[in-house]
Structure formats: C-alpha cells, structure tokens
Structure 1
Amino acid sequence: MEFQPFVRTRMLDAKPAPVTSVGPAGWIRRNLFDGPLNAAMTLVMAFVIFLLLSHLLPWVFLSVWHAESLAECREIIDQRYGTGHSGACWAVIHERFFQLVYGFYPPELYWRPNLTFILMLGALAPILFTQLPRKMMVFSALFPFLGAWLLWGGSVWQPVLVLAGFGIGFAAWTALAKVNGILAIAAGLILPVLWWVFAMEPVVNGLHAVIPLGLEPVDSTQFGGFMVSVVIGVTAITLSLPLGIMLALGRQTDLFIVRTVSIGFIEFIRGVPLITLLFVASTLLNYFMPPGTNFDLIVRVIIMATLFSAAYIAEVIRGGLAALPKGQYEAADSLGLDYWQAQRLIIMPQALKIAIPGIVSTFIGLFKDTTLVSIIGILDPIGLSNAIRADSAWQGIYWELFAFIGFVFFIFCFSMSRYSMYLERKLNTGHR
C-alpha cells in the first residue's frame, strides 16, 4: 500500500467541556462529591439541614404579625393552623418596633435620630470610599458636633463652642510649636479641657440669652434600643482607631515616659473586663469632675468603650508594625524622612493593611459588646427586650425578640466584615 502524506490545513473546532466539569454540575462535583468522604459528609449535612429547616421554616412563616398579647397570638395560631401548632409571634416586633429602635425617645422627635443616621452615613462615606471627593471630609469632621446636637438637643451654641475648644487647642499648639514641642503639645491638650470644663458653660448661657437658637432637649435616660448601640458603637469605633495608632507608636518609641505610660495603659485596660469599666463609668467617673458637673452617662460609656477598644487596636497595629521588614524603616531613613513623615508615608500604611482583619474583628466585637450597657441601666435592645417580657401581655416570649435583635446585629457586623474584604482586595493585602 502506497503511503499518502496528509497535512491538516484547518484547525479543528474546540469541543465543549464535559457537562460534569462545568456549570452547576461541575461545581457540585468539585465541591460536594469530590471523593467518597466528601460525598458522605455532603449527604449527612444535607440531612441535618433538612431536619433544621423542616422545623424552623414552619415556625418562622406560619406565624402571627398582628396581636396585642402572647395569649392572643397563640389563639390566632390555633385557629389558623390547628391546635398544638408551633408558630412565631412576630406581633411583639410589630407592636414594639419603635421602642426597640428608639427606646423612649419622644415619638414626635423621631426625625432627629433618623436625620442623624442619614447624615452619619454621609459623613462616613468619604472615609470608607476614597473615590469620593476629599472636600467631603470637612463635613465628616463637623458631623460629630452636629449629630450630638441633633440627638441631645439644647442650645445651638453648645456644639459651636465645643468646636471652638479644638480651635483654641490648635491655635495654642501652632503658636508654641516653634518654641517648644513638649510645651506646645501640653498647651494644645490642656487649654481645650480648661475651656470646656470651666469657661464654656457661662459663655453658652450668655449667647443663648442673646440669641436663643436650639432644639428641644432630650435626656439620655430617654435614649434606648438600637439607637444607643449605633451611637456608642460608631463613636467608640471612630475614636478608638486613631487613639490605638498613637498607643501602638507610643509603645515602640524610645521615649521612656511615653513608652511606659503606653504599655501601662494597654496592659491595664486589656487586663480588666469591659463590664468593670462600664461600672466605673456609671459610678466613679463622675466623682473626678468638678461639683455640680452633669457628666452624661452615655458620654461616660463612650469614653470607656473607646479606651477599651483602643487598647486592643494598639496591639493589633503593633502586630502589623512587627510584621514589616526592617528594610522599610531603613528605606524611610535613606530618603531623609523624619519620624512622622516615615510613619505617615511608608510605615503606617503598610502596617494598617496587614492589620485590617484584626482591626475589623475588634470593631465587630466592640459593636456587639454595646449590649453590656443594659447592666448599668441603659436600655439597649437587650435591656428593652427584658422590659418588654416583663409586661404581662408578653410574658413568656423569648425567641422572637432575640431572633430579631440578633438579625439586626448580624446585618451591621456582616456589613463590616464585607467592607473589610472589599478593603483588602482594593489594597491588595497579602502576598501573591
């Protein structure tokens, strides 16, 4: 037989991948049935999930949303689904929704916390998302004073003169910075405190008597529900990060006094339970103020929560600093940068990228720990749930209240976790 040479002149068309290796079927095969052990675990977990959902879904969806008591809820469930059927009584959420959100805040003033929450999102936006114009940071800096005034009310001159205290401190620091650095820092810290404690209130009263502008005051005892958790959590998170950075730097400095104070503060705070600090805030902190000073309880709790979180943030950031190779510090020195320039431009950005997961975990833990304030008499969602269950109409109800509270906390905490992942991807955190 004569050999006939053949040379292909046209490429064959690509054949589709096997059905079992692409699409949903491929994903299931790779992730759920990749071997006997994986397949057995998949079947066992599917059976467990089926058992859980078969009991949970009827309880969630075969429920009552409108009733005035737990007894009425159970009567409606028996009439609709038969005697002995177990269903959720979501009517308690419907009846006490505004109380769980606002506590005992006056209903006609709900627009103030609502507006504060919207403005808070606007103030956080340029901090969380760098694509936004940097000019928006001016509003971010002013929001704490505006938000506090909206929530607590009172004279408009109160937040204006509190802001003026920071201006006094900055002016003192600027004037003395070229003379003596230590003196400039001391003046920048002490003068605002003296202004706020001794001089501000008479000036506020005088200005308000001449130009009476303000909102109806609301006492902290009327705050409650998720509003308290958001106010304490967001404020403490915002303040604890810069304070934690300063503590982390102070712990590594060569200045003996600064290092000793930083280490002592961090170790003391980390060695004391948060609930102990909250008791200190509710009972002892007011004794350090001048007689007659009304130091708001929520402000005291914010201070203690901030200090508690800052100590843990400092250790997380110290871990990020320790993870940086020594060459980064040497590179900063070779460029002729001073200490603060090196920290701002080279060291701290890299350390913060490394520490992002730990920082966000600390923030999530702090936000969940705001439920501890119920122990010192602040009616957060947990405290309000106890008050609701003490009502004779809702005695015996548990799961519905705690499920709703847990779901709302999950939304906040899951959002922080997802933002952390977004930030890591954006900054290319990790080694490739």
Structure 2
Amino acid sequence: MASMSVAEMIGLFLNDNGKVNFEAFDGSSLGPKDAPLHIHVNNSRAVYYMVDHPNDLGLARAYLQGDISSPELIPGDPYVVFKELMALKPDLKRPNPADLARILSSVYSHGIRHPEPPSIEGPSRWRRRAEGLMPHSKAGDSATVSYHYDQSNEFYRLFLGSSMTYTCAVFDTPEDSLEDAEWRKLDLVLDKLNLKPGDRLLDIGCGWGSMEIRAAQRGIKVLGVTLAGEQVKWAQEWIKREGLEDLAEVRQMDYRDVPEGDFDGICSLGMMEHVGFKHYPSYFQEIFDKLKPNGRLLNHQITRVNSKTGKSAGEFIDRYIFPDGQLASPGEIETVIHDTGFEVVNQENLRQHYALTLHHWNKNLVAGWDRAVELMGEPKARLWGLYMAGCALNFELNNIQIHQFLCVRPDDTKMTDHYPLRPWWVKDSEVLPTQVEAPKA
C-alpha cells in the first residue's frame, strides 16, 4: 500500500472549496495558495496526536505545542481563524472504513508512536478517579478548582481588567467598556436581590472579591467563599485596601462548610459549572437551608441550549480548563430549583453579553501577550486565548448560553405578596457604576 501524504489524508475529511490552504511538513499541500486561510502542519507529531485523539483534544495538543499553526492566527485571540474554520463544516466528509485503514497504515508505516501530551495538560478522568479524586466530592472539587484558578493573579488581571470579575458582564451597548459592563453586572445582581444596608449576603464561589467590594460599598454585610487560595489572598488584600473589613469577608472554604445561616440573599456567579448535575438537588437544598424565609437567590451559570445533549464537557475542556465540569439546560436547572421549594421570579439569558465579554478578555490578552508568556509560558498563554475565543464563538452560535435565575424561598404562609408586582431592578436610566481599582499583583 502506497504511503499517503498529509494533504491526501486531509482531503479524505475535507472537500477542497478554495477557502483554505494546507501546507504540510512532508511537502504536500491542499487548496490554493491564495486562499484566505492557511494552515501549516509543521511536524509528524501533529499527525500522531490526531490519530490518538481525532477530536478537539488532538487538535488542541498540536496547537498548544506549535505543531499546527497559521500565519493568520493571533495566539491571544484566534477567534477569526476559528470562525473561518467553522465555516468549513458543510465541506466536511466522513471517510469510509477502507480510507481510514489506509490512513492508519500509512501513519504507522513510519512507526507506532504515542507522543507525550503537553506538560500543561491535566490528568484524564480515569486517572483522577484512580487517585481518589471522585467528581464533586469536597476533595475532588478542591483539586479541580485549584487547577483552574490557582494560577498567577497577575496573569488573570492581564485579561480580566481592574474588576477581576471572571463571569459574564452586562452591556448596554457593544461600545461599553469591559470595566463598566462588569460593575453593571454586579449591580444588576444586587439590584435583583434587592438587598438593603445591613442585610447579609453569601457569595458562593466569590472569585477575587469584586462582589464583596460592591456589596460592602452598599452597606451590605457580605461573606464570600472560594476553594482557590490565590483568590482569597487577592480578595482579602483588596477588601483591606478599600477599608471594608467591617462589612466584607472572604474565606477559603467549601460552601457546604459555611456554618452561618439566615442570609437575606445568596448569589452564585459562574460556580455551578463545577457542581455536577447529579449534585444540583443537594446544592440548591444547601442554599435553601441557608436563606431566611423570603430570602432570595441569584444563580448565574453557563447552560446548554437543550436537555438532549450530554452534560459533561469534551476531553479538551475536561483536561485543560474545567475538570469534571458539567452543564445542563435552563429547563433542567429550573426544575430542580422548583423541586427544592424555591419560587422562580425571573430568568434571564445573557448569551450575547458573554460573547462580548470574552472578546474583551481576548483583546486584553493580546495587549498583554508578552507579559502573559513571561508569567505562564507560551503554551498556557495560548491555551487561554484558545479557550476564550472558542467560547466566544460558541456563545455567538448559540451552542451554549448563560442564565440568571432569581429565586425566592417562600415563608411558612406560602404567600407571594412580599415582593413588588413588577421587576424592581429595571430602571428608566442606568448610571454607570463608580470604578474601583483592584490592588496590583
């Protein structure tokens, strides 16, 4: 059997539509030289990665190592290239078994190899289980949250900006600054919770403390908890700098271990992705039990668009971004909320806002690229550019969404006249929040 070129292999998966040119290390090519997009397969390791994992994990490994590249691609923001690649979907085709056998025979004629994954790749699901890190146990959650968040705080500040808010911002117009949009989101959450000075708020998965700062500025007594030690250090320093220690506190603690109760409000922003679908009932019950009667919950999380697809993320996200992360549909989430005993007052989809947020983060990463590489190394800096640009595109394509659920714990009377008849958080005019500078790393 004659050996196949890399271009011939690619041609079995993709019709040549003139939109992309592939150049491979073996001298073969596919597509016109003047195509708007050029993809370079730089070495044989890229091919072996794809044979081992013919999915997003194989592609990610090759890209992060520099085995696949493109002159049109900006490492801190590969969005444009991703969008052009997504446009190739109608030209994809499925090779027949005989062609797949030819590809494998040709590749393995050069030797059977299984190249090591990039050093920044996390362990697989089965390896985490073998090490005793059961999904969504306290030990498992601590390990997986630390894996993602205990990076360099300076690195996160490069792309998150001064608000250090790692969740979807809220924009009035696409021209709004990231900082204004992030503070507006925090204000929206607090407005929906309708808390007044002296009320008590629990912030589950508090991140670097932006909600604690914002709530305390309103006179709200706020406790934030996170499993990430680096976030706790940053948040405590920020609170001290603003002179808000009498109102704001951040602890390194599992939300299940918070001893206090009778909170007037609880918020959870971008934390539910770590909980696991099977644990939703116990999660919402824990929150229900910690709220006063008539207390409110604002739950803000990324969602799937329907309940037909699986809950778990693909191999790339699982190994590099959110180990054991799961997403559910809005309907499934709301069902669990109702079954727990909450009344859902409002549900809002912020999908378009998250796409805009991610574009800002990518732009910031590009602006701070040299420092990002210095802090984290190029593969990890590439990883965050890849992850954020991919998410932006998926939000735009409505492959994923993000929802806020505003919920009330009923009192013993089950009456529903303890909140206004119309949405109280909607204002005739929005006043931009005062910007608060976070401490420098």
- Higher RCO (CA-CA < 8 Å; seq separation 6+): 2
TM-score, reference length from structure 1: 0.25
TM-score, reference length from structure 2: 0.25
**Which one has a larger percent strand, Structure 1 or Structure 2?**
2
**Which one has a larger percent helix, Structure 1 or Structure 2?**
1
